[in-house]
Structure 1
Amino acid sequence: MTLGLFSWLLLPCCLGLLTHEIPGAQAGSVPSAAKTLVWGPGLEANIVLPARFFYIQAVDSSGKNLTTSPGEKTFEVKIVSPAEQFTRIWIQVLDRHDGSFLVRYRMYATYTDLHIHILLKNKHVAKSPFILKGTVYHEGCDCPQPNGAVWETHMHCPRSFPQIDRDLSRYATVDLDLNSREIPQRFGQRQSLCHYTVKDNKVYVKTFGEHVGFRIFMDAILLSLTRKVKLPDLEFFVNLGDWPLEKRKPTEKIHPIFSWCGSNNTRDIVMPTYDLTESVLETMGRVSLDMMSVQANTGPPWPDKNATAFWRGRDSRQERLELVKLSRSHPNMLDAAFTNFFFFKHDESLYGPLVKHVSFFDFFKYKYQINIDGTVAAYRMPYLLAGDSVVLKQDSAYYEHFYSELRPWEHYIPIRADLGDLLERIKWARDHDEEARKIALAGQQFARNHLMGDSIFCYYYKLFEGYARLQVTEPKVRKDMVLVEQPADDLFPCYCHRKRAKDEL
């Protein structure tokens, strides 16, 4: 038995407020198996993600949320299928050090009637065991839900995303035949592009340009989506470069180009970055930095963090040189240094020496994290927000897909593009420790609620769905397009038992 939909949607928001705004149980309180709360998408059979996840909020016998960790090994999680002698599932219980835990698990085969046991000193927690009834598909299973509306309901996707609405509002219609001729002529010679068609839920592609290696990220998310849900037929172009491309004004003829980064001076349609996309697809796989692992590696408690602003990176922008220069002049306020020189090698003697690479998780030993543009937006922003430090974000013309929902002084501390007020902002944060702490927590809660894997899949689907509605000509598999094959899943094949869409409504 799982939590009802209404409870599931309310809990993440409300628990965030409860944990941080209402005086909770004091350190040393003991969690109660009966009172402790469990919720999340990983308790629902129909939500298929590369790594499924759910949350545990430790609550004491008086009903108060614990706000400090009761211990990393407090809760034990076992996942079994009674129909199988062995279950090939990797489970991790991540202590978020605020009284809550994030449990993630990756399935390497498809099972029937999964039982999720959550134990506290051998006692079942909340409504454990949670039973995921029916077939529970693993990430590699090619078994799309035929009805997109049903899939959206299962995923609890929001009705809309502000950035998608804004990006698509520039187009009354999309003429695919025209675009297939004009976009390669405009951009195909000097830029790296992918021309995709999704037809009958199969993915086809043609590439333009020399540097098309980043195509692997777009291929991967499209294949993953089409294993989960039937996409509408659509045809579109993806920019594989850093910089957004469409510089024409809305009053001129603009072409729909999908990019991982947007800017105030361009009209590209923005997707989640390739970095965030890969971290979702490869969670508990080949990546070590993802939105879940960050939450368990947020450094020491706030009072014990170093009250210095911190930054590490490469020399991909002039302001980064200025940042390192500023750090030299004010080492008591700012610790900024380069780990690599690439763009300004002739200045290495001025801004070096290079320092050793620092593990991203060690960033959170510091209270203040500086987010400053690289070639475009700095793609570490989601992970910085998810930590337990306050982000000082440079004012920028570049943005990621979620920036429009962030509010300065609520989710981050703004700094001027030229960094002219950076020292002043650091001083403000030091002088207003409680306010800075609240901003850090609000940014963290935003990341937890909006930047996890389920939200990223919803964003891509809603984007493709909205774009498909604008098409006024039929998507076609064009000349020289090739089929992007689904990866082989021979070791643990699955058998798709989907009902027809009308049977599920």
Structure 2
Amino acid sequence: MPRRALLGHLLRLAALWLPAPALCASPAPSPSRTLVWGLGLETHAVLPVRFFFIQAVDKAGVNFTTSPGENTFEVKVVSPSEPFSRIWVQLLDRHDGSFLVRYRMYASYTDLNIHVLLRNKPVAKSPYILTGSVYHESCDCPESNGALWEKYMRCPSSFAQIQHDLSVFTRVDLDRNAEEIPVRFGQRQSLCHYTIKNNQVYIKTYGEHVGFRIFMDAFLLSLTRKVTLPDIEFFVNLGDWPLEKRRAPGKLHPIFSWCGSNDTRDIVMPTYDLTESVLETMGRVSLDMMSVQGNTGPPWAEKNSTGFWRGRDSRRERLELVKMARANPTLMDAAFTNFFFFKHDESLYGPLVKHVSFFDFFKYKYQINVDGTVAAYRLPYLLAGDSVVLKQESIYYEHFYAALQPWVHYIPLKADLSDLLEKIQWAKDHDEEALEIARAGQMFARTHLMGDSIFCYYFKLFQEYAKLQVTEPKVRVGMERVEQPKDDLFPCYCHRTKVKDEL
């Protein structure tokens, strides 16, 4: 046998007797080191869907930055006194080492136990026990002390947008408003005139198209089930466009709207879309700020490096966007799913394409956000994903826009989109910077646009507005009471009512 062949034969024989090299195992999460936190672990923080977070941490105390596996953790929410608890629990893998746990209660319980398990071992301080009465969404049991409720909910002390919107109103004359606002806007616009008195909601509507009152009604009822609001009286604009043009301060009327603009003075609230998604999470809506976090598409490096947009033809710039995408298919994928406003141009900007699941948007790195009739209300959900948002400059804004910073939370675009191709190319050439902006936008959404923040914003808005009232809120002629929904199947016993009755 030649020397080289003999050497090879001897090495193969030796390999049979040598121990196999140890495989480099990936670190595993540590039950004792893993972190668990959030409002969903607090008894008195009542939300339609309660939620908390899990951060996987290894034995060395290092946080995971990628998913340890979808089935790594198990969560059980039970009541020792109720063997058949009606609680729906869902664990969402955020694919960055953290998990969002949400649960919706369909009845109220006492001493709720939350078990967080890692391979059948309790995590951190599990079980977490919510002591006392834990109320579900339908329970009409408001906390009478607003400051205490804000503490439970960990509300910020103020919101800059509220201070800005109310700064032009030194005093609010409710009697004057009740007489003048219906005359100015009631015939041409759709309005709701609300009074909240003794924490009961009353309404009178003006205009033809008042169907959108259902969103405001539902949120006001939900809020008054949780906390006692000050007596207030106000008008809500149910249309898309803000109403109160900039005028001399003494002639302004306070109008609450879901969208603001640079040339109006409306008082901005979180949009009806966002409020409904908060109320109906784990219910009849599938797109909400929590579900997006568990459906952010492939990792950044595996996403399609093109700009993406889908929508309807509600603005001329959207026509230009689709035209631009056709001319630059390697940079953009933009198309209409519906024609309504520019039907005569369908042959130029069609054909229509099928609707795409919103979660599939995040297969693309670059999300293009262009106004519709007003601000595009999808922005909160785009930010919550892990793609970078390219946002058009706009005169319209939602309640949180002022807190967003260009080049920090999103990549800015000119109003006419003339720099869109340039900005997409910049993102392609500066991949790490684009990823940092995407993550900052995502963190903003996780911190400021979840359900707790929406409830806090509305409460603080009503609280600050109430301080400006110089006349007594009244249940006006023609107003009807908006009744709380009945829950005959799972009625709620409110311990606060019992305490009051005994005093």
Aligned residue in 2 for 1:42: 40
1:351 lines up with 2:368 in the alignment: no
1:423 to 421, 424, 428: 421
Aligned residue in 1 for 2:233: 235
Q: Which structure has the larger Rg over C-alpha atoms? A: 2
SS in 2 for 1:77: strand
Which aligned pairs between 1:393-404 and structure 2 lie closer than 5 A? 393-404=391-402
1:208 to 206, 209, 212: 206
| Pair 251,482 (structure 1): closer, same or farther in 2 beyond 3 Å | closer
Q: How high is the TM-score relative to the length of structure 2?
A: 0.94
Task: Give the letter aligned to residue 169 of structure 1.
Answer: S
Quote how far apart the aligned CAs of 1:82 are. Answer: 1.0
Task: Give the letter aligned to residue 458 of structure 2.
Answer: Y
Separation in 2, partners of 1:179, 1:489: 36
Separation in 1, partners of 2:31, 2:399: 39
1:410 to 399, 408, 411: 408
2:139–2:491 Cα contact (<8 Å) kept: yes
Aligned residue in 2 for 1:375: 373
Quote how far apart the aligned CAs of 1:249 are. Answer: 2.2
Separation in 2, partners of 1:73, 1:456: 31
Structure 1 residue runs without a partner (length 5+) = 1-25
Which aligned pairs between 1:27-426 and structure 2 lie closer than 5 A? 28-251=26-249, 253-426=251-424
2:169–2:249 Cα contact (<8 Å) kept: no
Moved over 3 A (4+): 499-502
Q: CA-to-partner distance for each residue in 1:311-359, whole Å, 9 max, x for gaps? A: 0000000000000000010000010000000000000000000000000
Aligned residue in 2 for 1:469: 467
Q: How high is the TM-score relative to the length of structure 1?
A: 0.93
Separation in 2, partners of 1:112, 1:276: 31
SS in 2 for 1:498: helix
1:485 lines up with 2:483 in the alignment: yes
Cα RMSD (Å) of the superposition?
1.2
Q: CA-to-partner distance for each residue in 1:377-409, whole Å, 9 max, x for gaps? A: 000000000001000000000000000000000
Quote how far apart the aligned CAs of 1:85 are. Answer: 1.9
SS in 2 for 1:177: helix
Task: Give the letter aligned to residue 230 of structure 2.
Answer: P
Quote how far apart the aligned CAs of 1:499 are. Answer: 7.5
Separation in 1, partners of 2:77, 2:371: 43
Separation in 1, partners of 2:56, 2:413: 37
Structure 2 residue runs without a partner (length 5+) = 1-23
| Number of aligned residue pairs | 477
SS in 2 for 1:235: strand
1:449 to 447, 450, 455: 447
Q: CA-to-partner distance for each residue in 1:464-489, whole Å, 9 max, x for gaps? A: 00001100100000011000010111
SS in 1 for 2:496: coil
SS in 2 for 1:495: coil
Quote how far apart the aligned CAs of 1:501 are. Answer: 10
1:386–1:447 Cα contact (<8 Å) kept: yes
1:260–1:270 Cα contact (<8 Å) kept: yes
Task: Give the letter aligned to residue 487 of structure 1.
Answer: P
Separation in 1, partners of 2:220, 2:354: 37
- Percent identity between matched residues is 77
| Pair 472,29 (structure 1): closer, same or farther in 2 beyond 3 Å | same
| Pair 99,275 (structure 1): closer, same or farther in 2 beyond 3 Å | same
Quote how far apart the aligned CAs of 1:86 are. Answer: 1.4
Separation in 2, partners of 1:281, 1:90: 15
Separation in 1, partners of 2:69, 2:350: 42
2:168–2:249 Cα contact (<8 Å) kept: no
